[in-house]
């Protein structure tokens, strides 16, 4: 990453959900490497920069509310400047009407409701700042919302919902210094292994670099939408 990215990220407090593995973990590591002076709030990680590790189930609004209240007590970490909505849930390839109810609820609670609740909580903080509000929110989408696949009815629709949410929100905060950005990973191995096997695969997708690029732009530049494919 360029020195300008390091400068633009310097001193910022960045909150990443779902950072214990995969894209979230790789994003956190790249951020730490790019700008050692920033602060990270993660679900799990190591010691390269000032790090606050918190457990959080984004599918539970009560947990989200408690999480943000606890941040107010964390000296040095409460001034969140960037939220990366990375946490997601993928399960199975069943087709309607055979999709288990618990799968539908779990996918939507994490992928849709979790993102909305986390975003609302962040906006409540961002809106208190000067010039109508300031801060960055990144939505981790998926190529699945653009190219639906057989067996992906629930997951694909959950990612399409987040895209619409992000587009509407971007227009609603246009008079502020709040940036809303969307990144769609392509057909990376981690995504489809998780879908088919319901497993937790540690292999990270290079999409993390795009997340860092997006939040590292000058504040008058918004990376509205990004589609990223693996080269092979």
Residue 175 near residue 110 (C-beta atoms within 8 A): no
Helix, strand, coil % (nearest 5) of the chain?
Answer: 40, 15, 45
Provide the 3-class DSSP secondary structure of residue 40: strand
Cis upstream peptide for 223 (omega within 30°):
no
Q: How far apart are CA 76 and CA 57, in angstroms?
A: 23
Q: Report which of 102, 88, 56, 101 is spatially closest to residue 195, judged by C-alpha positions.
A: 88
The set of catalytic residues is 155, 159
SS3 107: helix
């Amino acid at each position: 990453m360029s020195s300008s990215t390091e400068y633009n990220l310097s001193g910022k407090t960045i909150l990443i959900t779902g950072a214990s593995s995969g894209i979230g973990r790789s994003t956190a590591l790249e951020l730490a490497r790019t700008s050692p002076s920033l602060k990270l709030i993660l679900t799990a990680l190591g010691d390269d920069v000032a790090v606050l590790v918190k457990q959080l189930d984004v599918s539970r609004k009560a947990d989200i509310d408690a999480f943000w209240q606890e941040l107010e007590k964390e000296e040095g970490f409460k001034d969140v400047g960037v939220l990366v909505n990375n946490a997601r849930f993928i399960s199975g390839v069943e087709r309607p009407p055979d999709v288990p109810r618990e799968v539908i609820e779990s996918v939507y609670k994490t992928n849709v409701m979790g993102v909305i609740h986390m975003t609302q909580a962040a906006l409540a903080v961002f809106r208190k700042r000067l010039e109508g509000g300031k801060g960055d929110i990144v939505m981790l989408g998926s190529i699945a919302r653009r190219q639906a696949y057989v067996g992906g009815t629930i997951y694909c629709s959950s990612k399409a919902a987040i895209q619409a949410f992000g587009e509407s929100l971007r227009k609603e905060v246009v008079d502020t210094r709040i940036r809303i950005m969307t990144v769609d990973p392509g057909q990376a191995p981690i995504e489809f292994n998780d879908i088919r096997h319901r497993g937790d695969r540690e292999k990270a997708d290079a999409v993390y670099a795009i997340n860092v690029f997006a939040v590292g732009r000058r504040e008058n530049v918004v990376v509205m939408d990004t589609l990223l494919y693996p080269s092979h």
